[in-house]
Amino acid sequence: MDKLIITGGQTLKGELRISGAKNAALPILAATLLSETPVKVGNVPHLHDITTTIALLGHMGITITIDERLNIEIDTQSISRLEAPYELVKTMRASILVLGPLLSRFGKAHVSLPGGCAIGTRPVNIHLDCLTKMGAEITVKNGYIHASAERLHGTHLVMDQVTVTGTENIMMAAVLAEGTTIIENAAKEPEVEDLSHFLNCLGAKITGIGTSTITIEGVEKLQPKDLFYKILPDRIETGTYLTAAAITGGHIKLKDTHPKSLEIVIKKLRETGAEITCGDDWIELNMHGQRPKAVSIDTAPFPAFPTDMQAQFTALNTIATGTSIITETVFENRFMHIQEMQRMGAQITIKQNTAICEGIPELTAAPVMATDLRASASLVLAGLVAKGDTIVDRIYHIDRGYECIEEKLTQLGATIRRVPH
């Protein structure tokens, strides 16, 4: 397993291009299963989770062509297996996103049940309940979800809890269902919006995009002509680099990004003392060499503060002036990075889903271990401001969600290198 070694103490400076959004690319690649004609997607980030999704589509017998610009063309005409096997699902929970499209277009799907996860139990009961209400017959046997339906029918659904992939799965299922589906308490995340726009480009009829009530009028088939769809920029990658600059007192400009999807993160970074200016597709942050001020956060579904930025803000708070309170309301076990930060000297106490952090001037380097994607990013950020060499182990998590992280941080002046194990 590769490791990252970060020598702390550099101030980040410079410009960077932001990649396409992992959490938009994954459902959009799954949604190509709905199209009878080939479709092409661009701005797809070069990440492990994308490779896994391509392997999953390949396992189904789908024809995938990748050009020199990494645009991906998917042609589902050759599909021969309606199955997502355990070997692939266990490495990427988002594989569950093929359930809705397979069932809706082909009337059948066998998808391995995702197992536990480092950040919480993450059940898929809402996905299955909603599909059942749309007429699917679902059984769970030998660790697999077996779903079938002659044709799904539209219905009025109220989701018990806001779920991102749950909303996406049901939206994709509803696109080819008979009649109209209304999803209430739907997720409003920008990645859900991007998927809705993509589905409409395929020929779907979705309204209420970006609101908590989404209406999908079912259509018979989707046969777009020469569709090329560009994935939206990654707001979490953007937020992670902004936080990396803020924690080091730096000055950076991020290009090809989408400031509108990051309003709360920008607001919170301003509270730390950062000067931030934005254009339509760029963000510039200048910390003027100052140590950040502590900032409290409460995670919740969009447009509130994203759980996927909690660990990075925790890293920032460890070296901020003052005390912060960090409350995690989305996942029940998303503080695993804190124990590692404590080994670097961070002063944090945890009470249930709340962490209280007393900022100190400097962390000290230590060998640390990443437990999930955002936790590992937060440990890299902590390493940027730790005295000495921080060794982050198990960085395969980082490669699932950050394109070329060490190259990008090096471009901004960090001292970071990857060592193969």
Q: Where along the sequence are the contacts to ligand EPU (CB under 6 A)?
A: 23, 26, 94, 120, 122-127, 161, 163-166, 191, 307-308, 330-331, 373-374, 401
Task: Kindly state the smallest distance separating residue 47's Cβ from ligand EPU, in Å.
Answer: 10
Task: Kindly state the smallest distance separating residue 112's Cβ from ligand EPU, in Å.
Answer: 15
Residue 292: both structure tokens together: 């950040």
Task: Please list the active-site residues.
Answer: 117
* Cβ closest to ligand EPU, residue 190 vs residue 203: 190
Give the single-character DSSP code of 310: H
DSSP string, 342-395: HHTT-EEEEETTEEEEE--S-EE--EEE--SHHHHHHHHHHHHTEESEEEEE-T
* Cβ closest to ligand EPU, residue 96 vs residue 245: 96
Task: Kindly state the smallest distance separating residue 312's Cβ from ligand EPU, in Å.
Answer: 11
Burial of 347 (0-12, 13-18, 19+ CB in 10 A): middle
The span from the CA of 369 to the CA of 13, in Å, is 27
115 alpha carbon, distance to own chain's centre: 18
* Cβ closest to ligand EPU, residue 300 vs residue 360: 300
List Cα–Cα distances, 153 to 20, 49, 167, 171, 179, in angstroms.
33, 31, 16, 12, 6
Task: Kindly state the smallest distance separating residue 249's Cβ from ligand EPU, in Å.
Answer: 27
Task: Kindly state the smallest distance separating residue 78's Cβ from ligand EPU, in Å.
Answer: 26
The span from the CA of 377 to the CA of 182, in Å, is 37
* Cβ closest to ligand EPU, residue 304 vs residue 419: 304
* Cβ closest to ligand EPU, residue 163 vs residue 390: 163
Nearest-CA neighbor of 376 among 333, 312, 319, 307? Answer: 312
Please calculate the CA angle 73-153-92 and round it to the nearest 5 degrees: 45
Instruction: Write a three-state SS string for 198-224.
Output: HHHHHCCEEECCCCCEEEEECCCCECC
Task: Kindly state the smallest distance separating residue 355's Cβ from ligand EPU, in Å.
Answer: 17
* Cβ closest to ligand EPU, residue 251 vs residue 394: 394
The span from the CA of 41 to the CA of 408, in Å, is 24
Nearest-CA neighbor of 408 among 256, 197, 220? Answer: 256
